[in-house]
Every structure is written in structure tokens, then in C-alpha cells.
Structure 1
Amino acid sequence: MTDRETTIRIAEQMDEFWNERNLALAEEFIAEEFVGHMIGDDDLHGRDEYTAWAEGVAAMFPDFELEFEPMFVEDELLCGQWTLTGTHEGLLPDLGIEPTGKEVEFSGLFIDRLADGRVVEMWHQIDYLTLMQQLGAISE
């Protein structure tokens, strides 16, 4: 079981990693043996792929901000909803959508499993429907 202080530390590090683009923090809260289950995409394996994923998000939405709310803790699980706001300025490679310059706001869910003070496994879901509607790729 992961103690509450450790879980709070990890949540704070996640926020700084994503919102302040402090990618070096991955060393602190992502386990080397990390596996990220990305619904509809290939899984992420290891800290380097997690960091590369964050770099990819920043390339698509350079001014993005993430809000993690609400977040829940239960034993070794940290889970919640995130909302991304930003401007679409880079290619969305998985969807084949060229930059639109449109401002977007969409959400997703995550479940992180913790062990030894780090995230070892993640399940991640994005609301692609809302994103594609806001980009004009499909009608509302």
C-alpha cells in the first residue's frame, strides 16, 4: 500500500511535469518499468516513452494547460479526470489532422497504479469525440 504523502507528492510532481514542462521530474515519479495503457493507441513502455508522449502533446498544443480535477486516492491507485486547454498548432499524427489554430478544451481519465513511490502502470482515456468536434474534423 502507498502512503497518502507519497501519493500527494506524485500528484504534485505530475502537475509540475505537465504544466511547467519539467520533464526531468519523470525520474522522480515514473518507474523505469512503467507501462501506460493508451486506449486506441499503442502502449507506452518506460519512463522515456512517457516523456516522449508529453513532448508530443506539447508539439500539438504548445500553450496547453492541464487541470487535474477531481483526483481520488485508494490504496495504490491515483485516479481522476484531466482537462486540457490549448491551441492546436501541431499535427495530430494518430488522427491525421493538420494544425488548425483552433483553441480546444477536452478531457480524459486516468488511473495510475503506484509502487515503491512511483507510477508503475497507467490506464488513459481521451475524449476524442469532443476534440475532433472542436477541431472541425467531424460535425457536432
Structure 2
Amino acid sequence: MNSSFALDPFAACVERPGERVELAASTPHFVGASALPDMDIQILDVLIHGNMVGVRAKVRGTQSGSLMGIAATSKPIEFAIHSFHEFRDERIANTWHLEDWLSVFHQLGALPPSLD
């Protein structure tokens, strides 16, 4: 599924869990988009409760560009991402994201010595 998303890449997959989401490298909605040009997001679970939607996903890609000050390593990375959405009037009113950046830093060998 190739798309650019106005609000959130996960919101478009609410009714299609298990689908993979591909984002263009220029997509500004995800911190690592330009650093992971081959980024692949796999939706693992979607939970709906009233006007709230929770999404659990897995992100994979190769760090081919600078990521939060870490120079390109060409290393493959994989990490968890969780997205929570509140809907009002059939639109996303609020979104909260949790990404496992500590895992990414570990995979890239960029943890501070005190955490390694």
C-alpha cells in the first residue's frame, strides 16, 4: 500500500490489520522516514474501544541516512511502535505515539556507555 498520509499512516489501516504500510522517504510524519528509505511498517494489532483506536506495529528498515544525529550505518533495524487515536466526528482529534527508540540505538551501536 503506497500512500502519503495527511494525519497518520496507521489510521488508514484501522480496518486492515496485518497489512504492510510503505512510506516514501520524504514523508515527514515519522521521525525516521528519511533515514529509513526502505521503511516497512507491519500492522500487528488494532484495538477499537468506543472512539479510541490503538495500533501495535513493527517497523523495519535499513538506516541509510542520519537518524537523530547518528550517521548512516547501513544496518538493518526493527522496532516496535504503538499509536493511539481519539476520533471525533469521524476524524482523528488526538494521536499519541510510542516508539522503541532505545532498541534502535542499541541495534545501531549508539547507546551511551552507561546503558550498554
Q: Same fold (TM over 0.5)?
A: yes
Corresponding residue to 1:127 among 96, 100, 115: 100
Inter-partner Cα distance in structure 1 for 2:49 and 2:55: 11
Say whether residues 1:53 and 2:29 are aligned partners.
Answer: yes
Unmatched 5+ stretches in structure 1: 1-15, 32-50
Number of residue-to-residue matches in the alignment: 95
Say whether residues 1:83 and 2:58 are aligned partners.
Answer: yes
User: Larger relative contact order (C-alpha < 8 A, sep ≥ 6)?
Assistant: 1
| Aligned residue runs from structure 1 range 1-140, under 5 A | 16=1, 20=2, 22-23=3-4, 25-26=5-6, 30=7, 52-54=28-30, 56-93=31-68, 96-138=69-111
Unmatched 5+ stretches in structure 2: 9-26
Q: State the AA in 2 paired with 1:97.
A: I
Inter-partner Cα distance in structure 2 for 1:60 and 1:103: 11
TM-score normalised by structure 2 residue count = 0.72
Backbone CA RMSD of aligned residues:
2.0
Inter-partner Cα distance in structure 1 for 2:33 and 2:102: 20
Identify, as 1 or 2, the structure richer in helix: 1
Inter-partner Cα distance in structure 1 for 2:109 and 2:40: 21
Share of identical aligned residues, percent? 26
Moved beyond 6 Å, runs of 4+: none
- SS of equivalent to 1:73: strand
TM-score normalised by structure 1 residue count = 0.61
